[in-house]
Amino acid sequence: MADVINWLLGIAAGVLTAEKVDSHYGYYFQDFTAISDEAAEILGRRRKNLVLDGLTQLSDKAAEGLSRHVGDLHLHRLTNVTEKAAGNLGKNKGDLYLTGLTQLSDKAAEGFSKHEGALYLNALKNLSDAAAVSLGKNQGDLYLNSVIELPEKVAEGLSKHKGNLFLYSVTSLSDEAADSLSKHEGMLYLHNVKCLSDAAAKSFSRHEGSLHLQTLIHVSDAAVASLGQHKGNLYLNSVTHMSNEAAQSFRTHEGEVYLQGLAHLSNVAAESLGKNKGNLQLDGLTQLSDEAADSFSTHVGDLYLQGLTHLSDAAAASLAKHKGSLFLNVLLSLSDVAFKSLCNNKHVYWPQSGAPYCAHPRMKDSNNPKKPENVA
């Protein structure tokens, strides 16, 4: 009877007890705001993802029990951890979700330095130099999506990190910080950086790994030319102008290029971009000249032209030669001649088809294929 009473009191108080864990061999315990040391010890021996999203407090002893856990560990509502608890949680082998932490001491950050797995610290807005050095040693993806400012020393510490680095809230970078981050090995997410100096862009040209600069707007032709020398996937979806000189640098680029903000492209620039070896996304283009289409016909990789509503017969004949998937998902009008040309390419994605239209079983052996219903 005493055990039952203790169990009921634990539930009423929002405490996850050993008795409750024993009676529920599962992994989702979102309704509890605290956990007993004994319950943490039991859960630490389980080998699947563990969700404890309701916890708002965690003792050092409980953290020690969870340190033996293998699998992802979700602790989204914890707002602070002691240095000792951080050291124990850092031993968890799996992704660690601590998206409620708003502060992190240098010693606590050091506890995460040996963690193996992705580390989610998306509520942290500031990092000390020492904390950045420690987090840079984490072996897995690092999410710091509330950090706004990135001083040179913090950038230098994070540059040692190997894995994907997420810094969504950073809006600007000094030349020194950019130089440090350019040494980072792995995907680099800087989605909200809106301006970049020529010197900073030159530094990023040496970066190896995907570079995400999705909202970069204020950038010179020289800076774009530098970024074109970058090795890896390149996301520049807010760049609205591409000079012939800047496009020249993409001739030797290897990796996917995302330029969905471009509404116009000269024939000379198209010829250069067509040499890029990797997927090319140009969904902002609403018109494509015959000369530009001819340049893209020899492009190697998938080609996204999901802003085009019309193609000339000549342009269609050129694009039909393209090697790789060709996305024309918003075409509204196409002559019968152009349609038949494109049907020679079995990798064309048509409006609302969801797959290469002319590769559909009912189209493969047809000598008189029909256009999709929404293409005039």
pLDDT at 8 exceeding the cut of 60: no
Residue ranges of the domains in the chain?
1-147, 240-376
pLDDT classification of 370: cutoffs 50, 70, 90: low
Q: What is 240-376's CATH number, 1.10.8, 3.30.420, 3.80.10, 3.90.1150? A: 3.80.10
pLDDT at 359: 55
pLDDT at 352: 60
pLDDT at 373: 64
* Radius of gyration of the chain from its Cα atoms, rounded to whole angstroms: 27
Task: Please state which CATH class domain 1-147 belongs to.
Answer: alpha beta
How does the average pLDDT of the chain come out, rounded? 90
Better-predicted residue by pLDDT, 369 or 365: 369
**pLDDT digits over 55-91, tens only?**
999 999 999 999 999 999 999 999 999 999 999 999 9
pLDDT at 314: 98
CA distance 295 to 73: 50
CA distance 41 to 51: 15
pLDDT at 355: 54
* 1-147 against 240-376: fold identical: yes
Q: Range with the lowest mean pLDDT among 24-38, 136-150, 209-223, 228-242?
A: 24-38
**pLDDT digits over 196-230, tens only?**
999 999 999 999 999 999 999 999 999 999 999 99
CA distance 347 to 344: 9
